[in-house]
A and B are shown apart, each in its own frame.
Chain A
Amino acid sequence: MSMLDTKRAWPGDTLTRVPYWVYEDEANYRDELRRIFEGPTWNYVCLEGDVAEPGAYRTTFVGEMPVIVTRDEAGALHCFENRCAHRGALIALDDDGRVKSSFQCIYHAWTYDLTGTLTGIAFEKGANGRGGMPAAFCKADHGPRKLRTTTLCGLVFATLSDATPPIEQYLGAEIVRRIQRVLGKPVEVLGRFTQTLPNNWKLYVENVKDTYHASLLHAFFGTFRITRLTQGGGIAVSPDGGHHASYTIDRADDRTSTAYRDQGIRSEHENYRLADPSLLDGVDEIGDGVRLQILTVFPAFVLQQIQNSLAVRQVVPKGPGSMELHWTYLGFADDAPEMRRRRLKQANLVGPAGYVSMEDGCVGGFVQRGAAAAADELSVVNMGGEGTESQETRATEASVRGFWKAYRRLMGY
Chain B
Amino acid sequence: MTPSPAPAAAVPSAGSVESLLPRVWQLNADYARAIDDDRLEAWPDFFAAECVYKVTSADNHRRGLQAGLMYADSQGMLRDRIAALRQANIYERQAYRHVVGMPALVGPVGTDPAGVVRAEVPFLVVRIMRDGRMDLFATGRYLDALVTEAGALRFRERIVVCDSSRIDTLLAIPL
Contacts and interface: CB of A to CB of B under 8 A. Distances in A.
Q: Which of B57, B67, B89, B91 has the most CB of A within 10 A?
A: B67
A217 B88 CA distance: 9
B79 A269 contact: no
Contacts of A243: none
A192 B58 CA distance: 11
A352 interface: yes
Interface residues on B, range: 35 or more
Interface residues of A, number: 41
B163 interface: no
B55 interface: yes
Interface string A360-394: 01100100000000000000000000000000000
Interface in A350-366: 351-353, 355, 358-359, 361-362, 365
A272 B172 contact: no
Interface in B37-92: 55-57, 59-60, 65-74, 76-77, 79-81, 83-84, 87-92
Contacts of A355: 84, 88-89
B165 interface: yes
A275 to B, nearest CB: 4
A218 B90 CA distance: 8
Contacts of A272: 83, 87-88
Contact of B172 (A95, A196, A358): A358
Contacts of B56: 191
Given A192-B65, A276-B76, A362 B60 contact: no
B171 interface: yes
A191 B80 contact: no
B44 to A, nearest CB: 9
A347 B70 CA distance: 8
Given A220-B89, A274-B76, A279-B77, 14 more contacts: A195-B167, A196-B166, A196-B167, A218-B88, A223-B88, A274-B80, A347-B67, A347-B68, A348-B81, A358-B89, A359-B89, A359-B170, A362-B169, A362-B170
Interface of A: 95, 189-198, 217-220, 223, 269, 272, 274-276, 278-279, 324, 329, 340-341, 343-345, 347-348, 351-353, 355, 358-359, 361-362, 365
5 contacts: A192-B165, A219-B89, A223-B88, A352-B169, A365-B169
